[in-house]
């Protein structure tokens, strides 16, 4: 016991906003990325996020960054393309830039993406053009994305509030107040408000690692999701040699990082050919500037055979049609209903947050790191284990306070994992 009289720490809520933002930037550099001295950093953000980017850049250099490069996108410029660009523009992407990103990662650069650009930016645009532009971008980015999904480098995604996003989350609140409320929600959900966020994140990660270890011991053959109302009854087969993951982890370059801030999920690789049944989304999905609501899908033999939505159905079906793997699952994740983000009761219209409020599945690309020795396997070996491959990876939420989840073993006997949305 120490006899020293400590000055009580100032509560986060009472700090001036600039100081809150500065602490959050420090969290990005030291917890999200764990940026190493001598490392390059590539940031992507929208122009509205400059105040946070500048502070992150400052903390990155203080941590010894060799060079920080930020690629800014701009909503108005993105819309100008949809209004005025020639038709062939929508099958085009800057391959040279994507190649440069991949080269940077191979050269050891760390990667930070800031989420929070207007989730509904492209909602009024031609879904065919939106889809073509997304496919072109995904194709161009595939080599760079592969380094991320293989966790070759330390990377992280965290959020910055923007006015358009805040308006969607708090539609009845005046603009300035909505942005302030969204920032507070981001800080809280990101576990940035404690006196020692670095220690808080260590403890949080350790909790998730413990849950992951338990799930890995079980060697389940499948998970069965069944909701009380019967809208969801889905059996998700797990890939052979699947590994559960969650919390921070060491990347291929040996650096321990937290790829998502926040994160509350334990996730693994489903078997691409062994998903059967019906599933109903429990939250709307915000996808590349459009909103897809009330998704219902039927799976057979791993593949979606029927998909409907009350809004954005066209976008959903184009998404599923991106390639063969886009109609199959690449991730299944368990998140308790008691998670702080879920308890906030907010719909963030952002996968980064909403996927950490509910159990979810993802269409498309699987994470090679969620298989034993997956990082060293080629595409063929990964497919043989049941890991899906696609240009897309899109998470959507299926967990709810009425969702039950069972773990099913090789001979079909099952044990309850979650009841009414929470761990048993």
Footprint of Zn ion (CB under 5 A): 265, 267, 331, 333, 355, 362, 395
CB of 153 or CB of 179, closer to Zn ion = 153
Least separation in angstroms between CB 3 and Zn ion: 47
If phi over 0 gives left and psi between -120 and 50 gives alpha, with beta otherwise, what is residue 120? alpha
CB of 185 or CB of 329, closer to Zn ion = 329
CB of 135 or CB of 285, closer to Zn ion = 285
CB of 276 or CB of 331, closer to Zn ion = 331
Candidates 81, 87, 57; CA nearest to 69 is 57
Residue that is written with structure tokens 């609501």 in the block: 293
HSE-CB for 43 with a 13 A CA cutoff: 30
CB of 265 or CB of 276, closer to Zn ion = 265
Cα–Cα distance measured from residue 371 to residue 378, given in angstroms and rounded to the nearest whole number: 12
Least separation in angstroms between CB 330 and Zn ion: 8
Least separation in angstroms between CB 112 and Zn ion: 18
CB of 49 or CB of 366, closer to Zn ion = 366
Least separation in angstroms between CB 267 and Zn ion: 5
Judge contact between 35 and 41, C-beta under 8 A: yes
Dmax (CA) for the chain in angstroms is: 73
Least separation in angstroms between CB 361 and Zn ion: 9
Give the chain's radius of gyration (CA, Å). 21
Cα–Cα distance measured from residue 182 to residue 235, given in angstroms and rounded to the nearest whole number: 36
Judge contact between 270 and 236, C-beta under 8 A: yes
Burial of residue 283, with CB atoms counted within 10 A of its CB: 0-12 exposed, 13-18 middle, 19 or more buried: buried
Judge contact between 295 and 307, C-beta under 8 A: yes
Candidates 393, 173, 181, 141; CA nearest to 270 is 393
Least separation in angstroms between CB 263 and Zn ion: 8
CB of 178 or CB of 397, closer to Zn ion = 397
Least separation in angstroms between CB 38 and Zn ion: 31
């Amino acid at each position: 016991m120490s006899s020293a009289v400590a000055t009580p720490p100032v509560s986060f809520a009472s700090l001036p906003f600039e100081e809150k933002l500065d602490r959050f930037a420090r969290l990005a550099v030291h917890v999200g990325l764990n940026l190493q001295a001598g490392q390059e950093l590539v940031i992507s953000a929208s122009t509205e996020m400059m105040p946070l980017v500048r502070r992150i850049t400052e903390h990155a250099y203080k941590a010894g960054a060799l060079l920080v490069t930020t690629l800014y996108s701009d909503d108005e410029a993105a819309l100008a393309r949809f209004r005025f660009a020639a038709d062939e523009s929508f099958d085009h992407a800057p391959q040279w830039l994507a190649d440069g990103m991949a080269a940077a990662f191979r050269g050891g650069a760390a990667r930070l993406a800031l989420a929070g650009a207007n989730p509904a930016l492209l909602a009024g645009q031609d879904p065919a053009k939106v889809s073509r532009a997304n496919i072109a971008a995904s194709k161009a980015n595939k080599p760079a994305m592969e380094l991320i999904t293989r966790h070759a480098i330390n990377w992280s995604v965290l959020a910055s509030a923007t006015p358009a996003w805040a308006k969607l989350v708090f539609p009845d609140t005046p603009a300035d107040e909505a942005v302030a409320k969204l920032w507070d929600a981001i800080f809280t959900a990101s576990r940035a408000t404690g006196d020692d966020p670095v220690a808080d994140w260590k403890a949080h990660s350790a909790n998730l690692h413990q849950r992951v270890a338990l799930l890995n011991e079980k060697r389940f053959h499948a998970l069965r999701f069944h909701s009380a109302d019967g809208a969801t009854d889905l059996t998700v087969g797990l890939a052979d040699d699947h590994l559960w993951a969650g919390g921070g982890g060491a990347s291929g370059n040996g650096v321990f990082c937290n790829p998502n801030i926040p994160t509350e999920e334990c996730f693994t690789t489903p078997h691409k050919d062994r998903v059967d049944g019906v599933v109903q989304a429990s939250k709307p999905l915000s996808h590349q500037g459009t909103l897809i609501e009330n998704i219902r899908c039927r799976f057979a033999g791993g593949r979606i055979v029927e998909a409907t939505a009350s809004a954005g159905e066209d976008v959903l079906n184009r998404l599923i049609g991106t390639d063969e793997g886009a109609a199959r699952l690449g991730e299944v994740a368990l998140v308790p209903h008691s998670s702080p983000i879920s308890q906030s009761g907010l719909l963030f219209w952002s996968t980064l947050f909403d996927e950490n409020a509910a159990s979810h599945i993802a269409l498309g690309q699987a994470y090679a790191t969620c298989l034993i020795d997956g990082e060293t396997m080629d595409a063929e070996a990964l497919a043989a284990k049941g890991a899906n491959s696609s240009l897309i990876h899109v998470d959507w939420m299926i967990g709810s306070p009425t969702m039950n989840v069972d773990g099913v073993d090789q001979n079909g006997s099952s044990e309850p994992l979650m009841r009414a949305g929470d761990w048993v």
